[in-house]
Structure 1
């Protein structure tokens, strides 16, 4: 992509922030160019946000039905998935999946709940229930 072809239409999902992209300048060198984003970026971002919203609402329904713990809801509400939650919390994925079981989640010690709450940026009390 040439420097003049970098999208600058603006992307409302970026909140006015700029993004770094790489393009060829007039001399054929690869240079970093600031971009405001474009239509394609916006469409993909909105599609991803819709999917995250659907996953969050599905988790909310499972929590209400007693099929999963509020941890799964909060994971999606914070725009995380299982591998990301494992990485930032320091727990193995298989262990987090066990914590999705309501009976196990109810017996978790405070220090584990606090680690999850810190990752989510919420209190332990909020973590234990739906908003």
Structure 2
């Protein structure tokens, strides 16, 4: 896109008086940078993804409350991770992480294993073990 065509739609950054650096072409066709306050399609996509993440967090919280899954599942969603990412952070196979989602299995986990999860979520073992959704 040409530098003078860079979108200046109302976006997530415009409320904070900030602009995003984007690449555009100048009048000679060379790549250069330009500032944009937003682009409506990008704003819509970002809003939709944030809404979806919020829904997944709420579902996980409700599942913990109903004792359907362990707090590991909630903190994974809250930290915007998936099983593959969490598995790599804690250094365990994905099937093992999924197994730790089961409340009975979670209750028997050692502090050493819980510490790996706590470190991944940047919380304490006590916060992980004693998580009570409201």
Q: TM-score range by the shorter chain?
A: 0.7 to 0.9
1:104 aligns with 2:128: no
Question: 1:78 is matched with which residue?
Answer: 79
CA apart distance, 1:28: 1.3
Q: How many angstroms apart in 1 are the aligned matches of 2:65 and 2:115?
A: 22
CA apart distance, 1:14: 8.2
The count of corresponding residues between Structure 1 and Structure 2 is 131
1:57 aligns with 2:58: yes
TM-score when normalising by structure 1? 0.82
Give the greater-gyration-radius structure (CA): 2
CA apart distance, 1:47: 0.8
Question: 1:130 is matched with which residue?
Answer: 132
Indicate how the Cα distance of structure 1 residues 18 and 93 shifts in structure 2: closer, same or farther if over 3 A, else same: farther
User: Deviations 1:60-92 (Å, cap 9, x if unpaired)?
Assistant: 121122211111011111222222222333333
User: Deviations 1:77-131 (Å, cap 9, x if unpaired)?
Assistant: 1222222222333333222111111111112221221121122121112212134
Instruction: Structure 2 unaligned segments of length 5 or more: list them.
Output: none
Runs (4+) of structure 1 exceeding 6 A deviation are none
Q: How many angstroms apart in 2 are the aligned matches of 1:99 and 1:123?
A: 17
Indicate how the Cα distance of structure 1 residues 34 and 88 shifts in structure 2: closer, same or farther if over 3 A, else same: farther
Task: State whether residues 3 and 24 of structure 1, in contact with CA within 8 Å, keep that contact through their aligned partners in structure 2.
Answer: yes
CA apart distance, 1:32: 3.9
Q: How many angstroms apart in 2 are the aligned matches of 1:15 and 1:116?
A: 36
1:92 aligns with 2:93: yes
Matched position secondary structure for 1:80: coil
Question: 2:116 is matched with which residue?
Answer: 115
Instruction: Structure 1 unaligned segments of length 5 or more: list them.
Output: none
Matched position secondary structure for 2:69: coil
